[in-house]
A and B are shown apart, each in its own frame.
Chain A
Amino acid sequence: MSTAPALAETVAAPAPRRRGRLLLPILLFGLLALAPLAVSLGMPSGWLALLTRAMIFAIAALSLDLILGVGGLVSFGHAAFLGIGAYVTGIMITEGQAEALLILPVVLGICALFAAITGAICLRTRGVTFIMITLAFGQMVYFLAQALSAYGGDDGLTLYAKSTIAGLDLFSTRTGFFYCVLAALAGCYALVRILVASRFGRILRAARENPVRVSVTGFDVTRIRLVAYVISGMVAGIAGFFLANHTDFVSPAFMSWQRSGELIFMAVLGGVGSLHGAIIGAIAYLIAEDGLSHLTEHWRVIFGPLIILFVLFTRGGIVGMLRKLGGGGGA
């Protein structure tokens, strides 16, 4: 018994496995941080805007992965949070309030409220019903945005200013904005990773696999999922804030069901449940979309089946494939 504590600690955290898990995210963020350098060395500058956009969607896909990959809840209305974040930002900027330190708390608050209310209803259901109800709530927000005639209605809302952070004009240059988005992405990634590894996260993971076991072990599965849903919605709202600042425009299309579907695609493409998979998936998705849309107008017809084939054949998405290449199939 005297060796128990020492054993317990070593037993739970095998060092090599932990190091392996950090390699890919460090590589990923390192490469992203160098991207502006590549542009100054001759990459077309449109590339930086594309990467910025990809990282914004990566924040949203990452937030989705928390409930989809980690929690096992297939939400088909996640773009609603992206849209709410973008609209709150757009409306506040239009009303003359561009300060991020004021906008972000409002974004987080409204997303949390919306997630808490809709989540409490959605989470009473399971499986296909859950998918349909999240879809319905997503469409509700979509139609609400269309009806906002004071803020552009169907046509959307053009923004004539960008946000400042504590008064600083960090978003006015491409590189400045790029690094702000990268910092936000890294922060959200770290936060979600800590959550997943926490006591809370372990119960969330366990409940994905066996909710009955978790409930007879003394945990309220619905409440735990609701907390995850709220956090996920808030993080997606942050992505919306950046999206509005990136496009200088917000429109109901931000929260269409197709957008929600794309977010699922990104997470699945990268490999669900690994978190950095969602980031890689979002970047790969947007780069592929960009490339294919230059080739043909009907790129969606090619792209959809391509992704499905890829996911079917790799099982575990891009991250799963990399893991197989790197670790000989292990862990």
Chain B
Amino acid sequence: MKQPVLTLESVRKSFGALKVTDDVSLSVAPGELHALIGPNGAGKTTLVHQISGMLKPDSGAIRFRGEDISALTPEKRARRGLARTFQITSTIASLSVLENVALGVQAKVAHPLSLFRNAARDAALNRPALAALEAVGLADRAEVPAGRLSHGEKRALELAMALALEPAAILLDEPLAGVGREEGERLIELLSSLKGRYAMLLVEHDMAAVFALADKVSVLVYGRVIASGEPAAVRADPAVREAYLGEEG
């Protein structure tokens, strides 16, 4: 049994009286794709925010590569190799696609904040950025401002930005949300090509994608994990069918 990359231990978080994260424990092994599903408002995004450091849990521990990162800022977690994407795409619209990805590369190079070294003509940034763009199939769009990309392309760009960090784990918050069928299929293919290389926590509503990609599935309802395990077992779980999958037919 390999040591998990990411472990959540009894994480809890409330907004006033609303328990958004209710005693959640889960883990992601190296190279494993762990899907987190659940109805709207179940607390999936809130959980991703807590793992990435944008929100502070009320209690519980988050371990990443053996270290308790619960008290670290988002930037420190990113530097330790924890990357994420957002449910609502989050890129720098005025920077080019290549520059967006180069931001992530920049976090990994020596002298990332050099005051005088020109960034635009820096091969140390551009070369790995272009490689990440090639990996997601966006290399031919490198010069375009990120704001001009189609929705699906923005999703792919966010993935490239995450990959540029050379992460150990990637948190994906609904990477397929709002994407058309064709672009969606391309993204699913892309995610499956990344499988095995990164530990991934995938929040997703598209059940076909989840069951095609996931090694493990956890179901979150009202902030609680009501089932967790192999996809087939979770799919068959009566509590899950009632609470969630049942609605989908």
Contact = CB atoms under 8 A, between A and B. Distances in A.
Nearest to A220: B75
Contacts of A201: 119
A202 B115 CA distance: 10
B246 to A, nearest CB: 35
B207 interface: no
Interface in A187-218: 194-195, 197-203, 205-206, 209-210, 212-218
B116 interface: yes
A256 B198 CA distance: 56
Given A202-B99, A213-B92, A7 B130 contact: yes
A200 B54 contact: no
Contacts of B111: 199
Size category, B interface: 35 or more
Interface string A216-234: 1111110010010000000
Interface string B99-119: 100111011000111111111
Contact of B127 (A5, A200, A210, A221): A5
A210 to B, nearest CB: 5
A220 B73 contact: yes
A115 to B, nearest CB: 16
A227 B161 CA distance: 25
A102 to B, nearest CB: 25
A213 B130 contact: no
A197 B79 CA distance: 23
B117 A4 contact: no
Q: Which of A13, A195, A214, A216 has the most CB of B within 10 A?
A: A216
A214 B103 contact: yes
A9 B126 contact: yes
Contacts of A12: 96, 98-99, 120-122, 126
B98 A213 contact: no
Given A7-B130, A199-B114, A210-B90, A218 B119 contact: no
B52 interface: yes
A277 B237 CA distance: 64
Q: Is the interface of A mostly helix, strand, loop or mixed?
A: helix
Contacts of B54: 212, 216
A200 B114 contact: yes
A13 B121 CA distance: 6
A272 B53 CA distance: 33
A11 B143 contact: yes
Contacts of A217: 75, 78, 103-104, 107, 161, 165
Contact of B78 (A4, A209, A218): A218
Contacts of B77: 216
A168 interface: no
Nearest to A11: B142
B115 A198 contact: yes
A14 interface: yes
B95 A205 contact: yes
15 contacts: A8-B130, A11-B142, A12-B121, A13-B121, A194-B118, A199-B113, A202-B95, A209-B95, A210-B92, A212-B74, A213-B86, A213-B91, A215-B78, A216-B52, A220-B73
Given A1-B131, A4-B134, A11-B130, 17 more contacts: A5-B123, A7-B142, A8-B98, A8-B127, A11-B143, A12-B99, A12-B122, A197-B118, A197-B120, A202-B103, A205-B95, A206-B95, A209-B93, A213-B90, A218-B78, A218-B104, A218-B107
Interface of A: 1, 4-5, 7-9, 11-14, 194-195, 197-203, 205-206, 209-210, 212-221, 224, 227
